[in-house]
Structures are given as structure tokens and as C-alpha cells.
A and B are shown apart, each in its own frame.
Chain A
Amino acid sequence: MNGSDDLNRNRAVDWALMAYIVLAYAFVFAPIAASFVFSFNSDRFPSIPLGQFSLDWYRAIAMDPLVWEGARNTLFVGVIVGVVSTALGFGAAYTDYRYMFTGKQVYLALALLPPTIPVIILGLAMLAYLSRISLSGNALSVIISHVVVCAPFAMAIIRLRLSQMDPALEPAAWNLGASEWKTMRHVIVPFTMPAILGALFITMAVSFDEFAVAWFVSGLNETLPVKVLGFLQGQVSPRINAIGTFVFILSMTLVILAQLLLSGRGATPADKE
């Protein structure tokens, strides 16, 4: 900030803008915070004044075998979705980085478009299609549809990392006697490793969250977010807050891990100079 900047500033406007920022974040975090707070509240109908502090809702979900089953499914689906999305996303990111070819625009559109299609439409199309090819109603169908939506995120994250790579690095490895495959293993993968892990965690987190597609697609094997939806449709129960908080903490752990990986060790030497 330089002097002329200060000269042209108006304190009242600055204060108003700061207050506005606080307000904006209050709006964004109000539901998240409320969900967290009321998950520890004993009252059946959440409101203020707060009732007793209690872990009842956590106890309730801990004792519900259906919740456990849902959690297991969520985790199972999430891990597989993360691995498959990251692998597919890596391939697409590397293709975009390395090759020029006719139809590349179409390729990139296919790779990046799915998240922009409303989930309800995607869910409808998926369920109709997957049941037609007899794939609906099981964990596999959930995994398939989650990967369609998650792979673009993985690709974007890994592509970003590749764009930070010195373009001479790959040819330098070839030049030193490494074949393309060896270069992939000894140069490209180590260089992009932070982004690969970041993409893995983020796609897992997105999968935990991606309920709507699953709601349509999954029959018996409900994942945790689907279970949450079930609660909502039936009786409203603060149990959703407990589950939501639990999923939130899990997701945030993954996101923060990803963030640390993407910003920490992986920085290129050029950045540090």
C-alpha cells in the first residue's frame, strides 16, 4: 500500500466495506455453525435458548446400525471414487499438458463439463441409462456417477500443477536416457505428487458430499448423505446435525491435508528465488 492509496481513502467507506465482509461471512457460516452448535443441544426442536449440552444425537447415530452401514458405504465409495477420479484426471491433465491434436477442444469439454450439468438432470439420465444397462441400484452405479462429476476436479488440480513445471523438465529426462515411461515414473509423477494427493483428498471430499446423484442412482446401498436425505424426508431430527458435523470434520480434514500438500513442499524452486 503506498501513500497515494491512503490519500484517496475514505475511512467511513472502508469501515462499511469491512462490516460488509463480516456480514457476508456470517451469512455463509451461520448454517454451518448452527448445525455444529445444535448437534450438542439436547432439545428435540432446535432453537434458542439452548437446552442442555448433550451428546445424545451422537449417541443416537452411533447406535443406529443403518448409519454405520451408510458410513461404511460412504467411505468405501469415497475412497474408490477418489482413486479412480484421480487416475482418470491425471491422464487427462497430462494429455492436455503434453499433446496438441485436432478435437482437443472437444476432449477438454468432455473432461470438464459434467459438473456444470444440474445434478438432478445428471441423476435422472444416469439412473435411466444405468438401469438400462443393468448397472443401477448398487454401489458400482454410485461410484460410476461420482467419478463422472469428480474426475474434472482432479484434472483441474493436477493440470494446474503441471503448468508450474518447467517445460524442459520432461525432455531433460528423456535426454538423460529415460524413456517416456521411465520419465513418467521418475519425473512427472514425483513432480505432480502433491497435486495427485490433493486431488485424491478433494475428490473424496466431494464424493462424501455429492448426495443428489447418489439419491437417484443408489438403491439399497445408501451412502451417508443419502441417509441424511432420508432423515429430512421423514421426521426432522437433530441427528442430521450430528451426522453433518461428523461429515464436515472428515471433509475438512481431507481438504486441509490437500491444501497443505498443494502449497507446502511442492513449491518449485523458481517460486522461492
Chain B
Amino acid sequence: MSRDTLVSFEGVVKRFGNFLAVQKLDFEIRKGEFLAIMGSSGCGKTTTLRMLAGLEAPSEGVIRLAGKPINDLPTWSRDTPMVWQSLALFPFLNVRENVEFALKMRGVGKVERRRRAEQWLDRMQITEFAERNISQLSGGQRQRVALARSLVVEPEILLLDEPLSALDAALKVRMQSVLKNLQRETGITFVYVTHSQSEAFSMADRVVIMSRGKIEQIGTPQEIYRTPRSRFVAEFLGSSNIFQGTLERGDRGGIVLDTPLGKFETGGPAVVQPGSAATMTVLDTKTHLATERPSGTRNVFSARMVGEEFVGATATIYLEAPGGQEIRVQKGHDELAGLPLEIGRELFIHWDPSDGHVIAQA
């Protein structure tokens, strides 16, 4: 364990009756990082967070906070405040009383309590609402109250359980930057659970992708996006075209994947087991279209256009390759200018060998 480790999960397992919610978690959370735990519902991400908060006890393994095992510490004896999906603000207390709550429970005196609450009300820009009832606040204001209420004890770590899910799209984006800035300024470790890829990738320093109670991959958003470690991660992110085939040694030093659509080459890892099954992923933004077969590359095949979709400045073109596989190409509008984009039209798909990423095991 390195010196900048704040939390470590060591062989943590959680069972609910016969249901295995989390199996063998081994990972570390670093001091001062913004860590997002991402996965679809039921993947164990919220259970992981709740174990860290002390709301669930691990069935096996040890969770350490700053080196000390905290398995047996009840939640009220840990400093792991959480921001809840429902926010869970106390409806019978006003904004100030909500923010002061944790201090009051810790026996902090009235004057001191007020001073520290005032600081956070000010920091979250909700001082003017201090005497209001929770029911009189907007969604964004409530978020700020929830953050202030948790941060007022100035913890080393803050847990967030999908806190933005109730907000509308525009407010969500605004709150993302509020959260990111807050994390940077305070240096508090944020552990952020979400099912939203855009939230995780836009805020987090590192992302943990979970599935069926297991960690699929941990890494920076860049790493995960460019080099997904498994077919699951690539499919989960949904931003790559995925080809399945058999590995061969390339004649030009790289490696080649033999797929039903052709033999595709890549720089890839030099060590390959020829004949083994593998998956290649190519980001849909790195996949190009052409009307004529491009020369000088082996990474090309033809497909029939079946649809298009426009979101803001980018367009996604959907094509169907022989054999029925769906191919997606994402481009800016200017890059598409001049291409005859008609449904049913045959187009050539190609990409640079260095953009193909090979996942060794199938």
C-alpha cells in the first residue's frame, strides 16, 4: 500500500442471502482523487459505496480507511459522509439546521457550529436561503445544501450516490462543474457512484467499471476509452466498433486479426499467441467513410448505410456490414460534407492500423 492510499478494499465480498452482490473487491482509493464507480444497476456499485459508508457490513474481507480496518465501525463513528440519490435532506429542519446537523451530533458548541455552517453556506452560495425550508428550494439549491451538510465536518472523503440523477440535463452539466471545482479546491477525496458515462468521464480522475459485483477495469477515462480491457467494457461504453476474430502474426511486424469481414492489422502488442481468439475495438470517431476503396490499407470493408442521427455538431452514421454486424461512424458535419449519404448506399469503412486496439482474450 502506497503512502497516498486513503481507502483500500482487500478481498471484500458482500452477500445478501444467496445473492452475491459484490465478489472479491481488491482496489485502492488515492488521497485527493476524484474516483467514479460506474456500472449498470445491480452491478454492486452502490453496495460498494454503502460498505465504505458503514451502511452495509462486508461478508468477507477488510476495508481500511487511512490504514485502519473499519469493518466493525458503525456508520456514525466514521467520517465518511455521503450525498444521497434522494439527497435525504431533513424536511423538518431549515437549510441552516440541516447544515449544522452533523456538527450538532458531534457535540460541537452552538457558536462554533454556527460559524462553521456559515462558512459552508457561503461557499455553496446558499447563505440567502439559510432560514428557508427545504421544500422552498429548487433542485439545484437542494444539491448545494446536501453538499454543504456533508462537507461541514471537513472530512477526508466524500461519498456521492448518483446525486445528480434527479436534475434536468442543463442543471446536471452545471452541477458537474460545481462538483469538479469543489473537489479540486478542497482536495477532499470524492467517490462518485453513477450509471452515467458522461458524468463519470467528465469529472473523474479515475473510473472503476463494475459488472455483476466485479471490477472490469480501473483507469483514467482516457485509458478506459482508448484501451478497454475487455469486450464487456467496450460494449458497455458503446463508443467502439467491435470485431471478433483469430490472431495472426503480421507480415509487417504488427499483428493481424482474421475476421469474417477481412484481415485487419494493428500495431498492437507484439506478443501474440497465433491462432487464439481475440477482439479488436476501433473508436467510432476513428472509423472513416469513403466512396472509393482506399488504397494502401488492409483495414477496409464495405457496408450498406441504414440510418443517420444528428446530435449537435456531430452525426452518427449507421451501417450494416455483410453478415449483419452494425457499424457506427461518428463525425463532425464538415467531415461528412461531400459524402453521398443515402440510405441503402454502399460505402467503404476504413481506419488507421494504430487506431485498432486488440483485447487478447476473447
Q: Do chains A and B touch in the complex (CB under 8 A)?
A: yes
Interface residue ranges, A against B (CB under 8 Å)? 166, 168-169, 171-180, 182, 186-187, 190-191, 193, 267-269, 272-273
Q: Check B135 for interface membership: any CB of A closer than 8 A.
A: yes
For the complex with contacts A175-B80, A176-B81, 13 further pairs of A-B residues with Cβ separation under 8 Å are A168-B85, A174-B76, A175-B54, A175-B75, A175-B81, A176-B150, A177-B153, A178-B76, A179-B74, A182-B76, A187-B90, A268-B91, A269-B135
Note all chain B residues with C-beta closer than 8 A to A174: 54-55, 74-76
Note all chain B residues with C-beta closer than 8 A to A186: 101, 104-105
Whether the Cβ atoms of A269 and B105 lie closer than 8 Å is: no
Whether the Cβ atoms of A169 and B76 lie closer than 8 Å is: no
CB distance from B151 to the nearest CB of A (A): 11
Note all chain B residues with C-beta closer than 8 A to A193: 92
CB distance from B94 to the nearest CB of A (A): 12
Note all chain A residues with C-beta closer than 8 A to B133: 269
Find residues 67-82 in chain B having any chain A CB closer than 8 Å to their own CB.
Answer: 74-77, 80-82
Q: Which residue of B lies closest to A180 (CB)?
A: B76
Q: Check B149 for interface membership: any CB of A closer than 8 A.
A: yes
Alpha-carbon distance A152/B133, docked complex (angstroms) = 33
Whether the Cβ atoms of A171 and B75 lie closer than 8 Å is: yes
CB distance from A102 to the nearest CB of B (A): 13
Whether the Cβ atoms of A173 and B135 lie closer than 8 Å is: no
Alpha-carbon distance A98/B82, docked complex (angstroms) = 21
Alpha-carbon distance A178/B106, docked complex (angstroms) = 8
* Residue in B54, B74, B101, B134 whose CB lies within 8 Å of A173: B101
Note all chain A residues with C-beta closer than 8 A to B89: 269
Whether the Cβ atoms of A191 and B81 lie closer than 8 Å is: no
Whether the Cβ atoms of A175 and B53 lie closer than 8 Å is: yes
Kindly list the 5 A-B residue pairs having the minimum CB-CB distance in the complex, ordered from nearest. A269-B135, A172-B88, A168-B88, A176-B102, A178-B105
Say whether chain A's binding surface is mostly helix, strand, loop, or mixed. Answer: helix
Known contacts A268-B91, A269-B134; decide if A177 and B55 are in contact (CB<8 Å). Answer: no
Whether the Cβ atoms of A172 and B84 lie closer than 8 Å is: yes
Alpha-carbon distance A272/B138, docked complex (angstroms) = 12
Whether the Cβ atoms of B82 and A175 lie closer than 8 Å is: yes
Note all chain A residues with C-beta closer than 8 A to B91: 191, 268-269
CB distance from B227 to the nearest CB of A (A): 37
* Residue in A171, A180, A269 whose CB lies within 8 Å of B55: A171
Note all chain B residues with C-beta closer than 8 A to A180: 76
Whether the Cβ atoms of A177 and B102 lie closer than 8 Å is: yes
Find residues 174-216 in chain B having any chain A CB closer than 8 Å to their own CB.
Answer: none
Note all chain B residues with C-beta closer than 8 A to A191: 90-92
Note all chain B residues with C-beta closer than 8 A to A182: 76, 105
Q: Which residue of B lies closest to A191 (CB)?
A: B92
Whether the Cβ atoms of B81 and A168 lie closer than 8 Å is: no
CB distance from A176 to the nearest CB of B (A): 4
Counting chain A CB atoms within 10 Å of each CB, which of B75, B82, B89, B92 scores highest? Answer: B92
Whether the Cβ atoms of B88 and A272 lie closer than 8 Å is: no
* Residue in A166, A168, A175, A272 whose CB lies within 8 Å of B76: A175
Q: Check B86 for interface membership: any CB of A closer than 8 A.
A: yes
Alpha-carbon distance A77/B106, docked complex (angstroms) = 41
Alpha-carbon distance A190/B74, docked complex (angstroms) = 23
Whether the Cβ atoms of B84 and A177 lie closer than 8 Å is: no
* Residue in B55, B74, B149 whose CB lies within 8 Å of A176: B149
* Residue in A169, A177, A178 whose CB lies within 8 Å of B88: A169
Whether the Cβ atoms of B84 and A168 lie closer than 8 Å is: yes
Alpha-carbon distance A180/B104, docked complex (angstroms) = 15
Alpha-carbon distance A191/B91, docked complex (angstroms) = 8
Q: Which residue of B lies closest to A192 (CB)?
A: B92
Alpha-carbon distance A172/B150, docked complex (angstroms) = 10
Alpha-carbon distance A182/B101, docked complex (angstroms) = 11
Whether the Cβ atoms of B105 and A172 lie closer than 8 Å is: no
* Residue in A169, A171, A177, A267 whose CB lies within 8 Å of B90: A169
Note all chain B residues with C-beta closer than 8 A to A272: 135
Known contacts A175-B75, A175-B80; decide if A166 and B106 are in contact (CB<8 Å). Answer: no
Counting chain A CB atoms within 10 Å of each CB, which of B75, B81, B93, B102 scores highest? Answer: B75
Note all chain A residues with C-beta closer than 8 A to B82: 172, 175
Note all chain A residues with C-beta closer than 8 A to B76: 174-180, 182
Note all chain B residues with C-beta closer than 8 A to A169: 88, 90
Whether the Cβ atoms of B105 and A177 lie closer than 8 Å is: yes
Note all chain B residues with C-beta closer than 8 A to A269: 89, 91, 133-135
Note all chain A residues with C-beta closer than 8 A to B86: 166, 168
Known contacts A173-B101, A176-B81, A179-B76; decide if A190 and B92 are in contact (CB<8 Å). Answer: yes
Find residues 302-327 in chain B having any chain A CB closer than 8 Å to their own CB.
Answer: none
Note all chain B residues with C-beta closer than 8 A to A168: 84-86, 88
In the assembled complex, 15 residue pairs joining A and B whose CB atoms fall closer than 8 Å, in A order, are A166-B86, A166-B88, A169-B88, A173-B105, A174-B54, A174-B74, A175-B75, A176-B105, A177-B76, A178-B76, A190-B93, A269-B89, A269-B135, A272-B135, A273-B135
